[in-house]
Structure 1
């Protein structure tokens, strides 16, 4: 059983903001219309803020604006993933 990731904390978001700079990265967060929730790729619920939510976009990127932005899933973005430290 995969445990859900912890909420995206302020330190993690700052790290991602500094890392991504001018590029947009898909972060594995998608909108599920059936229950009207943002969910990570492991299906755990995200309770943070996503901008551009009313634009009918179902994926989330981080990058240019330094915020979590709803974006089209039809555009090929770079990807960024979290993994355990060695």
Structure 2
């Protein structure tokens, strides 16, 4: 009876040895996974992190860009502001500001031609009236002075028209000249009218020039 028992023991040991050397089960190998899968997973995580960082930087730039542009505009405005403020228009000494003109009132009475020459020496010309509103203001100014003044308007006998010193023809809808239209006639302004008188008569005059930039 010893032989069968010995055989059974050997058979049992052989069977257990075969079981211990068998390959791992498919379920355990699938759980562990190949090594390249783990590397790919890590790389994917790193790429996702970099992508999120890039989007964060881009959003921050887009938010800050309008603020940078506003600051740039404000700086430009601050740079140009002193230049605008430094551009001041004023009249020379002894001249009167009237709209966009500087006016000089003569203190002496002379013929029209001498008044014209005096204005020229001052870098100006005899007064030119632009419209009815300016005419009204000048008439009020004349009333305050209590005088009448030669202006830059003369009758041209050859053309039978009144002409301003800049060569333009008088617009009779703007103002009407009372008195005679004849050779050697020049226009004067008073507080009530614009009238014709001899260019040889002695009267005060008004010169005009544009405002000076300082």
What is the match of residue 211 of structure 2?
Answer: 85
> TM (normalized to structure 1)?
0.77
Which is higher, the Rg of structure 1 or of structure 2? 2
Cα distance in 2 for partners of 1:80, 1:29 equals: 12
Deviation >4 Å, runs of 4+: 54-57
What is the match of residue 132 of structure 2?
Answer: 10
Matched, 1:68 2:186: no
Unmatched 5+ residue regions in structure 1? 1-5
Quick one: higher RCO (CA 8 Å, sep 6+), 1 or 2? 1
Question: Does 72-81 or 31-40 show the bigger shift?
Answer: 72-81
What is the match of residue 27 of structure 1?
Answer: 151
Supply the RMSD in Å over aligned alpha carbons: 2.2
Number of residues of Structure 1 aligned to a counterpart in Structure 2: 80
Unmatched 5+ residue regions in structure 2? 1-127
> TM (normalized to structure 2)?
0.34
Cα distance in 1 for partners of 2:129, 2:168 equals: 10
